[in-house]
C-alpha cells in the first residue's frame, strides 16, 4: 500500500532533519518546508504537527517554526532509557516476528550484506530507519514504538553528523556489520542474544556523543 501524502511529507522532512539539511536550531516556516519537501500545504501541515509531537520541530507562537536543536547532553542522559527500550524491542521481535516481518528483515539483511564496503551513508540511513521500524513492528508493542521512534530520529541525526564529519569508511562498515548481526539474530529467533547485541551497539553511542561534543577551551 502506498503511503499517504502526509506520511510521505513526514518521511521527507524527517530525513531532511536527520541529514541536517534542515539544520539543528534552524528557524523556518511552513511555506519553506513546502518548498524543500516538494509537498503542498496540507500534507506538510499534517507532517509538521506529527514532527512537533515527536519534538523534532518546535512551534514558536507568532514566530514560525524551529528545527529541534542538537542537545548532546540530553541525548546522553536519555541514552540509558533508550537502551532499555531498544533491548526489550529486539528481545520481543526475536520472539514474536511474524512471516511478513521476517521476510522484510531477510531482505534488509541481504541489502546490508551486499552493501559492505560500498553502501553510502545516505543509503545506510534509509536501511537503518527501516530496521528500526521493522523491529518495532515485529515486537508487537505499540507503546514502545510511540516512545522510541522520535528518539531514534534524534540519534540517527547524531549518527549522521558523526559519520559525515568525523567517521571513516571503516567506522561506517563496522556500523553496517553490527546492524546485520542484529537483524540475523532476530531472524534466528534468539531473544537473549538480540538483547545483548542491542546493549553492546548502543553503548557505543556514548563515544559518538563525546566525540561530537565541543571540547572545553583550555584555561589561559
d(CA 33, CA 12): 10
Question: With 0-12 CB in 10 A as exposed, 13-18 as middle and 19+ as buried, what is 169?
Answer: exposed
- Asked if residue 183 belongs to a domain, the reply is yes
Say which CATH number the domain at 152 has.
1.20.120.530
Residues 99, 44 within the same domain? no
**At which residue does the C-alpha cell 567517521 appear?**
167
- Do 160 and 18 contact (CB within 8 A), yes or no? yes
Q: Between the CA of residue 181 and those of 43, 63, 192, what are the distances in Å?
A: 37, 46, 13
d(CA 85, CA 148): 7
The pair phi, psi for residue 27, each rounded to 5°, is -85, 140
- Asked if residue 99 belongs to a domain, the reply is yes
- Do 156 and 19 contact (CB within 8 A), yes or no? no
Nearest CA to 132 among 111, 105, 112?
Answer: 105
pLDDT of 220 reads 45
Residues 25, 129 within the same domain? no
- Asked if residue 217 belongs to a domain, the reply is no
d(CA 188, CA 35): 44
Helix (H, G, I), strand (E, B) or coil at 81: helix
- Do 162 and 211 contact (CB within 8 A), yes or no? yes
pLDDT in tens, 77-118: 999 999 999 999 999 999 999 999 999 999 999 999 998 889
Residues 63, 107 within the same domain? no
Q: Which domain holds residue 13?
A: 5-67
Of all residues in the chain, the percent with pLDDT exceeding 90 is: 88
Indicate the number of domains in the chain.
2
Residues 83, 172 within the same domain? yes
Residues 80, 121 within the same domain? yes
pLDDT of 3 reads 75
Say which CATH number the domain at 19 has.
1.10.10.10
pLDDT of 2 reads 63
Residues 96, 120 within the same domain? yes
pLDDT in tens, 130-141: 999 999 999 999
> What is the pLDDT averaged over residues 66-71?
94
Residues 101, 208 within the same domain? yes
d(CA 180, CA 157): 20
Q: Pick from 29, 52, 67: which residue ends a domain? A: 67
pLDDT in tens, 3-23: 799 999 999 999 999 999 999
- pLDDT exceeds 80 at position 197: yes
- Asked if residue 219 belongs to a domain, the reply is no
**At which residue does the C-alpha cell 542491542 appear?**
198
> What is the pLDDT averaged over residues 157-171?
94
pLDDT band at 185; cut points 50, 70, 90: very high
- Asked if residue 218 belongs to a domain, the reply is no
Quick one: how far is CA 105 from the chain centroid? 17
Residues 82, 52 within the same domain? no
d(CA 24, CA 131): 24
pTM beyond 0.85, yes or no: yes
Residues 63, 42 within the same domain? yes
Amino acid at each position: 500500500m502506498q503511503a499517504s501524502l502526509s506520511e510521505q511529507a513526514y518521511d521527507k522532512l524527517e530525513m531532511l532533519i536527520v541529514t541536517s539539511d534542515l539544520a539543528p536550531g534552524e528557524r523556518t516556516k511552513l511555506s519553506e518546508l513546502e518548498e524543500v519537501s516538494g509537498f503542498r500545504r496540507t500534507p506538510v501541515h499534517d507532517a509538521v504537527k506529527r514532527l512537533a509531537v515527536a519534538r523534532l520541530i518546535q512551534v514558536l507562537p507568532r514566530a514560525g517554526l524551529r528545527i529541534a536543536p542538537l542537545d548532546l547532553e540530553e541525548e546522553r542522559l536519555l541514552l540509558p532509557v533508550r537502551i532499555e527500550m531498544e533491548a526489550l524491542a529486539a528481545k520481543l521481535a526475536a520472539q514474536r516476528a511474524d512471516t511478513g516481518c521476517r521476510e522484510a528483515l531477510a531482505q534488509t539483511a541481504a541489502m546490508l550484506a551486499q552493501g559492505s564496503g560500498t553502501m553510502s551513508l545516505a543509503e545506510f540511513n534509509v536501511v537503518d530507519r527501516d530496521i528500526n521500524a521493522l523491529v518495532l513492528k515485529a515486537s508487537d508493542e505499540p507503546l514502545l514504538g510511540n516512545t522510541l521512534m522520535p528518539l531514534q530520529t534524534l540519534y540517527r541525526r547524531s549518527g549522521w553528523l558523526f559519520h559525515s564529519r568525523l567517521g571513516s569508511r571503516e567506522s561506517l562498515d563496522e556500523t553496517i556489520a553490527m546492524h546485520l548481526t542484529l537483524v540475523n539474530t532476530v531472524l534466528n529467533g534468539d531473544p537473549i542474544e538480540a538483547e545483548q547485541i542491542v546493549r553492546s551497539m548502543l553503548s557505543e553511542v556514548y563515544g559518538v556523543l563525546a566525540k561530537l561534543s565541543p571540547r572545553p577551551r583550555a584555561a589561559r
